[in-house]
Every structure is written in C-alpha cells, then in structure tokens.
Amino acid sequence: MTDIPAGTATGTPPDDRAARGAGQAPGPSRPSGAISDFGIDTTSRSSGEAVRDYLARVRGGELGSLPAVLGLLALVVVFSVLSGDFLTLGNIANLLAQGAGTTVIAMGLVFVLLLGEIDLSAGTASGVTAAVLALHLVRDGNLLGGMGSMVFALFIAGLLLAVVLAVVARMWAGAAMAAVAILISLLGLPANPWLEMLLALCVGAAIGSLTGFLVAKVGIPSFVVTLALFLAWGGVVLQFIGEGGTLGLRNDVLFAVANGNLSTLGSWVLFVAAGGGYLAVVLNRHYSRLRRGLVAPPTGLVLAKVTAILVLGAVATYLLTLNRSHNPSVVISGVPYVVPIVLALLVLGTFVLDRTSYGRHLYAVGGNREAARRAGIDVAKARMSVFVICSSVAAIGAIIYSSKVGSVDPQAGNGNTLLFAVGAAVIGGTSLFGGKARVRDAVIGGAVIAVINNGLGLLGQGAAVVSIVTGLVLLLAASVDALSRRRAAAGR
C-alpha cells in the first residue's frame, strides 16, 4: 500500500501543506542543502511574517477551528454576564462531565465525516452497547436470562455475522473484538464493571463492522444504511430493556466514570503528564523541522503558544483541586475522571490521523476517493474501518452518559444524542464535504454545545430554546464551512 502525502484538496495536515507552499516536496528525507540550492531560507520567518501568513490563509478560506473558538469565548462571556453561577467551580466541573458523552461520540464521528460519509446510527448504536452493559451487570453476567432464549440467539448470531463480515473484509480488529463479545456473552462471567465496559466496547466494534461492510463492500449509501440502522437499533434497545423499564447501574466504578474525581495528587500528576507530553511533542516536532530545513513557525511563537496552554492547564487544575462542595462536611475536589478519558482519546485520535500512514490514507480518501484508489490505497477497507472506529468510540460515549444519569432506559442514545454529536463535530470545524477534519474539532464543538445547554439551563430556559439555539449555531457553522470552501476554491 502506497503512502501519498495529500495536498490541500485531500485535507493533508498543515505541516506538509506548508512544505509544499515553500516549493519543496514533503517528507523527512528532503535535505536542507537542496533547498539552499534555490536560494530559499525556509526557516527564517519572523513573527510578523508568520502572523501575516496565517491571516492570509484565513482570508483564503482556511478557517479551521477559529470560528468555533471565537464562538465558545463569546458564549462564555455572555453566560458569565447573565448568570452569576456560570463560572463557579461546581458548575465548571459539572460542565466538563455534562458534555463528555456527546463529545466522545463526536470524536468517533470525525473519522466518518472525514471520508464524506455519515453515520446516523451512532446514537442508537451507543444505546445498544449501553443496554447490553446494563443487562450484563443487572443479571450478573446472565445475558440469556436477561434477553430470553430467542433474542439471545439472535444477538449471538448478529455478533457471529459481524465476525464473518470483518474477516471477509480483512478488518481484523473488528473481528477480534466481536469474537470477544461472543465469548463474554456465552461464558456467563460474573458481573464486573471492567468486564461490562469491555463488552460494550466490543459490541460497538461489532456494530461498526456490520455498518461498514454494508457501506464499503455492498455499496449502499451510508445515509440509507445508517438511517435504517438508526431505527433498528432503537428497536433493539427497547427490546433489551422493555417498554417503560429502566436498568440501574448500581456500581461504584461505573458511577464514578462520569461523577467521580481524581485526588489532588492525581490531578497534578495528570497535569504534569499531559503538559509534559504536549511540550515534548510540540518542541520535538518544531526543532525536527528546523533541522531538516522545512518550513516552521518562529520559535518565539511556538514557545508562547506552549506556555499559554500550560499556564491555562495549571490554573484549571489548581481551581478544580479546590473544594467545590456547598456542604461544609463534604469535600468535593479534583479533576473529573472524564477529563483524562477525553484527553486520552484526543491524543490517540490525533496521533492516528497526523502521524500514521493509515491517517494519511483517510485524508487522501476523504479528499479524492478515485485518486486514492489509483495510488494503491484500499478505499473499501478505509471506509469500513471508520465505521468500526465510530461505533467503538460511541460505546465509550455510552458508558459516560449512562454513568452520568446512573441508569439506562429505552431511549438511551435516541433523541438528540446523535444530532448533538454531529453538531459538535461540524461546529468545531469538521467539514460535511469530507477531507477536512481533526479530532480536536469534536472537543471544541462539544464544549460549545455543552456551554449552550448549561448556560441556557442556568437561565431557566427549556429544551425548546436549547434546541433552537443549538440548531442556529450548527447552521451558522455549516454556512461558514461552505463559504470558506467556496472562497478557497476561488483563490486557486
């Protein structure tokens, strides 16, 4: 399989685009001496030149996450002025947990949207994984007794089908995870919170294998497939739980996923690990580009950016380690557990898209599917893989939102779950046209939606106003994306 560094049309990350803009071929093997032969000093840009270059790219339509970041800051200012409770420590911590489930599902959807596809079933698929998790916990591992013999047989048959289809498509990770789900279900292992979460994750991978095969191998449009499965999985959740029923998650570990906090020491350890890792990665990449003679921003700007982020992280960590309980006899402090979960997914997803050949292939397929196929990329496998990733990550989102409410009901994953998740990805800067997406888009967009929900709730506004405002923000984000693409195309 051939790695092809894609250009702007294929959504290549900024590093290679910058290298191309300097008139050189991308890649680490490009010697700096070859650049000097043309009289081009690609490493000596002043801060002013870097700023002017960035503004030129913005005027040319390369907005990235800038509109979402500015919108998020505006919303924070507005709600801080309108409600004195918005910037309290307790509300900030609640805000992080409140939006984590939607944000995580949106992070999985970023991979699908990158290829110009859509997964309308991600919400209800997460509901299926939550229902299986809850059934296995409540029935102490006896899914047969919880589902009934006929439904259980169909459940196992669906998992077996997922294994077969994944093997046919050579999607080994999906096949292995679906096989693990079969083993856990048939062995009737006693309830264990870590086992339940593994089961949910594996069921999500099985669902993604089924969806991806229908889209990539059978050739049914993703809109049609996932719309049908949106309805089907909603019925499966209702069948598993029963109309009007609710399955409680009475387990300390599962409850703590979205409601627990790190200790003060653990919070600072997280900051040191995350901040140190970020510092090492950014500086290593920057100085590596300088050594190889590639285009790099001024060192002063890089250091200023890193310093600002580390200071912001240190301040946030300090504030979250303060006691935010209103009860003098109860201490509630520490960074919520959802923060390291989201950070881990963000780092992993960013690494996959930016630093692996698989990620480059996804950008290539999303930018120009036919060109990617001619370059030797297995387009069908790439398309199937993103649905496996999406449903697996949606299962993690299901664990978080189920933990937040402490139960699973027949409406799990239904309603606005998918709409807010897609909205989060698009608001953050992911393009619905494919070829342009970053995992951080989902985090920024998820923060926007969480702030809207939280802020309007503090102001006493109902679900109607929340839906209207969120819809208008999503429409604005989609309009900005369409206009920026038109402007970028006109500038070529």
Most confident option among 38-52, 224-238, 296-310, 451-465: 224-238
The region of weakest confidence among 117-126, 158-167, 321-330, 478-487 is 478-487
pLDDT surpassing 90 at residue 432: no
pLDDT at 24 over 70: no
Contact between 120 and 224 under an 8 Å Cβ cutoff? The reply is no
Range of the domain at 449: 66-260+336-490
Q: How confident is the model at residue 489 (pLDDT cuts 50, 70, 90)?
A: low
Per-residue pLDDT averaged across 156-185, rounded? 96
pLDDT over 80 (residue 99) = yes
Least confident of 29-38, 91-100, 102-111: 29-38
Going by pLDDT thresholds of 50, 70 and 90, the confidence category of residue 322 is: very high
Confidence of residue 488 (pLDDT cuts 50, 70, 90): low
Does residue 159 carry a pLDDT above 80?
yes
Mean pLDDT of 283-297: 84
- More confident of the two residues 322 and 33: 322
The model's pTM: 0.86
Mean pLDDT along residues 254-276: 95
Q: Stretch 143-159: mean pLDDT, rounded?
A: 94
Is residue 22 one of the residues assigned to a domain? no
Mean pLDDT of 401-429: 88
pLDDT at 101 over 60: yes
In a domain? residue 182: yes
> Which of 33, 87, 3 has the alpha carbon at shortest distance from 358?
3
pLDDT score recorded for residue 271: 96
Q: How many domains does the chain have?
A: 1
Return d(Cα 248, Cα 100) in angstroms, integer. 20
Q: In sequence order, what DSSP letters do the residues of 431-473 get, joined into one string?
A: -TTSS---HHHHHHHHHHHHHHHHHHHHTT--HHHHHHHHHHH
More confident residue, 175 or 328: 175
- Nearest Cα neighbor of 456 from 446, 445, 447, 467 is 467
pLDDT of 298 strictly over 50: yes
Does the residue 155 lie in any domain?
Answer: yes
Which pLDDT band, with edges at 50, 70 and 90, does 117 fall under? very high
In a domain, 119, yes or no: yes
Is residue 109 assigned to a domain? yes
**What pLDDT score was predicted for residue 492?**
59
Highest mean pLDDT among 42-46, 83-87, 211-215, 463-467: 211-215
Mean of per-residue pLDDT scores for the chain: 86
Residue 10 has pLDDT above 70, yes or no: no
Beta-bridge mates of residue 261: 336
Decide if 57 is inside a domain: no
CA-nearest of 346, 408, 322, 466 to 100 is: 346
Average the pLDDT over 94-112 and give the result: 92
**Banded pLDDT at 111 (limits 50, 70, 90):** very high
Per-residue pLDDT tens over the stretch 349-397 = 999 999 999 999 999 999 899 999 999 999 999 999 999 999 999 999 9
Residue 401 has pLDDT above 50, yes or no: yes
Count of Cβ atoms closer than 10 Å to residue 281 Cβ: 15
| Range in 46-50, 360-364, 444-448 the model is least confident about | 46-50
Structural domain includes residue 31: no
Query: Which CATH number belongs to the domain containing residue 174 in this structure?
Result: 1.10.3470
Percent above pLDDT 70 for the chain: 88
Cα 74-75-81 angle, rounded to 5 deg? 95
**Within 13 Å and on the Cβ side, how many CA atoms surround 450?**
24
25 located within any domain: no
Q: Cβ distance 410 to 242 under 8 Å?
A: yes
Q: Which of 15-29, 96-110, 420-434 has the lowest mean pLDDT?
A: 15-29
Nearest to 101 by CA among 486, 456, 487, 412: 412
Phi, psi of 407 (to 5 degrees): -165, 170
